[in-house]
């Protein structure tokens, strides 16, 4: 494949250096992916052109994954795709199909693990006008940092009655005193200090850099003491060691500050997963940055997205210290493939995050404002239109055009 015209994004002394014509690989995605990609790339290119008068431009480079890759190369995730994401450091990705119960492993999980994209970052913020089941969705302004490489998502599991499952159960029952039914399927949930610390560190740094007031560690440590409970303990120890000036724990808040958070400090607290699901609904203003292990984070991301209009409106990114892949939160919605029907906002808001990551804040602001104005004018795709009075329902491509008209 010939090298595209453009330059690589690099890292210099821990800082991202972004040229005026950065090469950014993209994965179109399966199902609704191509419709979303067309709308999103159009709106992003227009926002960049308008913000910088042609001085800056993204040089998109398509890389293959999923069904398109399989048709073209016989592989679901060609090595070249992973190499390109590694080399160019920033990527945009559409949704990819994962069969349930068998077949290939999730490509999304494979990409995250192969590139060690250890944090899945999902901001959840309300855009005025979007239909929401909440009475006060404007109170929701949270950002989830979900650990991305460990937990039951590590993919270490064996089918019921398979030889490895039988051997493992034998070992556990005979040597470690467990009483597991020999016919069980079995999975392993690793959670390490290293994995927990780098995720929680990132969440705390984000809170410091963005003037947030609290970081909540959400876990199920009352039941899974040595995995999820350890996640919480590692977090408190890390904050004490690395952020003693900026962060105070909830215990210190009441012992030393009479329950009132001093100006400029960040509160580090922890909540058990089940009650968190209730409290984010009933008292959303008590949550700001949330750090959690992998599975909890997966559930919470979609539940919170529902509060602000559903997965069609929820952006996300998967990041390591040097690589960032931005992606829609929803899946491939195959029944809507190629109908030019679905909502491109999730991928577009992911592109807003991507532009912020590049430091191209003028373009990201233009894109976000155009979306807010378009939705504010009740020009929306089917998913929002069916919940709104007086909406004008438009196709995916028309939504992008309506945004560009407002830039």
Instruction: Quote the CA–CA distance of 240 and 193 in Å, as a whole number.
Output: 15
Q: Alpha-carbon distance 206 to 168, whole Å?
A: 41
User: Is 97 among the residues that bind ligand NAP (CB under 6 A)?
Assistant: yes
Among this protein's residues, is 382 annotated catalytic? no
Residues with Cβ within 8 Å of 262's Cβ and at least 6 positions away in sequence, in order, are 248
Q: Does 137 bind ligand NAP (CB under 6 A)?
A: no
Render 21-43 in DSSP notation, one character per residue: SBEEEEE--STTHHHHHHHHHHH
Three-state DSSP at 187 gives strand
Residue closer to ligand NAP by CB (options 6, 309) is 309
Contact positions with ligand NAP (CB under 6 A) in 375-394: 383
Per the residue annotation, which of 93, 189, 220, 269 is the catalytic one? Answer: 220
How many other CB atoms are found less than 10 A from the CB of residue 198?
A: 19
> Sign of torsion, CA 100 101 102 105?
positive
Point out which span in 51-59, 128-136, 146-154, 323-331 binds ligand NAP (CB under 6 A). 323-331
Q: Is 330 in the site for ligand NAP (CB under 6 A)?
A: yes
Q: How far is the CB of 222 from ligand NAP (least distance, A)?
A: 29
Active site residue 298: yes
10 Å Cβ neighbour count for 226?
11
Binding mask 33-62 for ligand NAP (x = CB under 6 A): ------------------------------
d(CA 140, CA 126) in angstroms, rounded, equals 6
Tokens of residue 147, six digits: 């650990």
Q: Does 95 bind ligand NAP (CB under 6 A)?
A: yes
Between 108 and 149, name the residue whose CB sits nearer to ligand NAP: 108
The answer to whether 108 contacts ligand NAP (rule: CB under 6 A) is: yes
Choose between 54 and 99: whose C-beta lies nearer to ligand NAP. Answer: 99
Q: Which of 298, 341, 382, 383 does the annotation list as catalytic?
A: 298
Interior angle at CA 89, CA 83 and CA 93, nearest 5: 80
Q: Which is nearer to ligand NAP, 235 or 312 (CB)?
A: 312
Query: Which range, of 77-85, 285-293, 331-339, 370-378, touches ligand NAP by CB under 6 A?
Result: 331-339
Strand ranges, E, within 210-345: 214-219, 247-249, 266-272, 289-292, 315-319, 324-328
Q: How far is the CB of 113 from ligand NAP (least distance, A)?
A: 14
Q: Return the residue of 28, 150, 270, 327 that touches ligand NAP, per CB under 6 A.
A: 327
Residue ranges in contact with ligand NAP by CB under 6 A = 32, 95-98, 108, 311-312, 327, 330-333, 342-343, 346, 383
């Amino acid at each position: 494949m010939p090298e595209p015209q453009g330059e690589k994004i690099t890292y210099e002394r821990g800082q991202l250096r972004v040229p005026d014509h950065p090469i950014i690989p993209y994965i179109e995605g399966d199902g609704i992916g191509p419709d979303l990609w067309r709308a999103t790339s159009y709106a992003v290119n227009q926002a960049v052109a308008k913000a910088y008068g042609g001085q800056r431009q993204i040089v998109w480079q398509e890389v293959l994954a999923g069904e398109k890759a399989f048709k073209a190369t016989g592989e679901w995730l060609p090595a070249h795709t992973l190499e390109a994401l590694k080399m160019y450091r920033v990527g945009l990705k559409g949704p990819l199909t994962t069969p349930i119960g068998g077949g290939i492993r999730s490509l999304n999980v494979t990409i995250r693990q192969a590139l060690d994209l250890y944090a899945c970052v999902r901001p959840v913020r309300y855009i005025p006008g979007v239909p929401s089941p909440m009475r006060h969705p404007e109170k929701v302004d949270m950002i989830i940092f979900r650990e991305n490489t460990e937990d039951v998502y590590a993919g270490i599991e064996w089918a019921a009655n398979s030889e490895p499952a039988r051997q493992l159960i034998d070992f556990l029952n005979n040597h470690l005193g467990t009483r597991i039914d020999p016919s069980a399927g079995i999975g392993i949930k690793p959670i390490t200090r290293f994995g927990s610390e780098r995720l929680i560190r990132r969440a705390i740094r984000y809170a410091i850099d963005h003037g947030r007031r609290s970081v909540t560690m959400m876990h199920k440590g009352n039941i899974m003491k040595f995995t999820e409970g350890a996640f919480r303990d590692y977090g408190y120890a890390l904050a004490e060691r690395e952020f003693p000036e900026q962060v105070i724990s909830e215990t210190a808040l009441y012992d030393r500050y009479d329950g009132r958070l001093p100006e400029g400090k960040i509160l580090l607290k922890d909540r058990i997963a089940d009650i968190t699901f209730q409290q984010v609904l009933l008292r959303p203003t008590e949550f700001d940055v949330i750090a959690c292990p992998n599975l909890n984070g997966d559930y919470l991301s979609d539940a919170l997205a529902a509060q602000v209009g559903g997965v069609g409106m929820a952006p996300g990114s998967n990041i390591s210290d040097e690589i960032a892949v931005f992606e829609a939160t929803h899946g491939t919605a195959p029944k809507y493939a190629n109908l030019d029907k679905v909502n491109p906002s999730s991928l577009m808001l992911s592109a807003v995050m991507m532009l912020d990551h590049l430091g191209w804040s003028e373009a990201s602001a233009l894109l976000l404002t155009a979306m807010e104005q378009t939705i504010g004018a009740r020009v929306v795709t089917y998913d929002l239109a069916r919940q709104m009075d007086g909406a004008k329902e438009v196709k995916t491509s028309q939504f992008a055009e309506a945004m560009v008209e407002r830039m």
